[in-house]
Amino acid sequence: MPQSGSLRILRNLLPRHKRKTPPSPADEIQFGQTQTDHMLICDYLPAKGGWQVPEIVPYAPFQLTPDSVVFHYGQEVFEGLKAYRDSVQPDQIYFFRPEQNARRFANSALRLGMQPVPEDIFLKCIHELVAVEKDWVLESPASLYIRPTLIGMDTGVSYRASLAYRLFVIVSPAKNYYKRETGVSVFIERQHVRAVPGGSGEAKCGGNYAAALPALQRARALGAEQVLWLDGLERKFVEEVGAMNIMFVYGDKIITPSLTGSILPGVTRSSIIQLARHLGFTMEEKRIDIGEVLTDIAKGTLTEVFGCGTAAVISPVTELLDGDSRIEVNKGKVGPVAMKLKKELIDIQFGRAPDTFGWRTLLASQ
């Protein structure tokens, strides 16, 4: 198996005159819709000794046969992370905690019976692709979103784990995930569940998101942007909000659901927990009863709610929809704690504040 230090990555790049012009930070950029000129592909083929030589190639479709395992048995996991252009030294590009994404990517693969990508190879591939596409790393408030994906490639519809896999990585410029910066509305889902203990909830796999789509469709029909998921056993304990982790603010105390095996261990979640404690907030991880949440909102003791994740960073929740009821959080206004944490975190990501925690990783090939 190749190690990152000796790993060779082939480059089959478009000539300069055939490459697209990256957008500017002032342009409207729809999240995930504008792909860059190139992508990275690396196959795991046991018959050929394991991981093959990664290659950076022009962004284009690739072929899989209709009986590929990924289509029939859902062996697919992915990640999401970002690269940032430093605000103080714009010629420098940084990643934010990429080793955490590499570790979660491997854990997700293991949960689905897949061949995990070694963390050093994952990081090397990310560095090389972003180095090729560095002109697409826009200045603040924009960034470059990175989407590594692993799929099973074996053919034949007999039920089994694939032996061969493909890692591919695509990247796209990104701005705000939500169009509204004034807070989001969230629908409390009481019919369906996202995950159960012992399931795949803590893995970042497409199946989790696919099964959540009917609830998202219902939420949007009611005017909400996202879904608040409850636990799969008692249907009373808060787990996640859409594609994000969730946090509740009680003055100077912030609580978030504890990781029970059915909740995705978010990199942004982990960062906010550390950052909040550093800023003097009391941070608590525990099971959170939705009934108590609604009571505390009514009493005014719960002052803010916000979701957090790589794509959205921090998204304040200003309204909860529960059946026919609409419950305002903080009188429908964005709260100061969410905005303070968001600013502090983004300032670290873009180099405007000291990286006290050692979270940033300089792009190796600038």
Please report which confidence band the pLDDT of residue 26 belongs to, taking 50, 70 and 90 as the band edges.
Answer: confident
Q: Are residues 198 and 144 in the same domain?
A: no
Least confident of 18-27, 286-295, 345-354: 18-27
Residue 366 counted as domain residue: no
Q: How far apart are CA 15 and CA 172, in angstroms?
A: 19
pLDDT at position 7 is 85
pLDDT in tens, 48-76: 999 999 999 999 999 999 999 999 999 99
Average pLDDT, the chain: 95
What tens digit of pLDDT does each residue of 282-341 get? 999 999 999 999 999 999 999 999 999 998 899 999 999 999 999 999 999 999 999 999
CATH number at residue 147: 3.30.470.10
Which residues have CB under 8 Å from 72's CB, separation 6+?
A: 157
Out of 174, 195, 223, pick the residue that ends a domain: 174
Which whole-number Å values give the CA distances from 304 to 177, 247, 254, 309, 358, in the listed order? Answer: 20, 8, 9, 17, 28
Residue 2 has pLDDT above 70, yes or no: no
pLDDT exceeds cutoff 80 at 78: yes
Number of domains comprising the chain: 2
Q: What is the pLDDT of residue 170?
A: 98
- Residue 365: predicted pLDDT: 67
* 141 lies in the same domain as 261: no
Q: Domain check: are 169 and 215 in the same one?
A: no
Q: What is the 3-state secondary structure (H, E, C) of 195-256?
A: CCCCCCCCCCEHHHHHHCHHHHHHHHHCCCCEEEEECCCCCCEEEEECCEEEEEEECCEEEE
Mean pLDDT to the nearest integer, 29-44: 95
Is it the case that residue 147 has pLDDT exceeding 70?
Answer: yes
Buried b (16+ CB within 10 A) or exposed e, 89-102: eeeebbbbbbebbb
Q: For residue 4, what pLDDT is reported? A: 47
Same domain? 131 vs 194: no
Rounded Cα distance between 81 and 310, Å, is 6
pLDDT at 17 over 90: yes
In tens, the pLDDT along 173-211 reads 998 765 556 789 999 999 999 999 999 999 999 999 999
Q: Are residues 148 and 296 in the same domain?
A: no
- Indicate whether 1 pLDDT > 60: no
Range of the domain at 336: 184-348
Q: What confidence category does residue 25 fall into, taking pLDDT thresholds of 50, 70 and 90?
A: confident
Q: How far apart are CA 150 and CA 152, in angstroms?
A: 7
What mean pLDDT do residues 218-245 have?
Answer: 96
Residues 165 and 85 in one domain: yes
In a domain, 2, yes or no: no
| Residue 196 is assigned to a structural domain of this protein | yes
Both 113 and 242 in a single domain? Answer: no
> In percent, how much of the chain has pLDDT > 90?
92
| Domain end position, chosen among 152, 174, 196 | 174
What residues form DSSP beta bridges with 308?
A: 245, 314
Nearest Cα residue to 96 out of 362, 366, 359, 364: 359
SS3 306: strand
Q: What is the pLDDT of residue 182?
A: 73
Mean pLDDT of 225-234: 96
Cβ atoms < 10 Å from Cβ of 234: 9
Both 256 and 339 in one domain: the answer is: yes
- 159 with 201, same domain: the answer is no
Tell whether 136 and 207 lie within a shared domain.
no
Same domain, 230 and 334: yes
In a domain, 307, yes or no: yes
Domain identity same for 161 and 205: no
How far apart CA 272 and CA 266 sit, in angstroms, is: 10
What's the pLDDT at 333? 93
Residue 358 lies in a domain: no
Residue 1, in any domain of the structure = no
Give me the CATH number covering residue 335.
3.20.10.10
Question: Would 228 be classed as within a structural domain?
Answer: yes
Distances (CA, A) of 131 to 86, 92, 122, 277, 354: 15, 11, 14, 34, 24
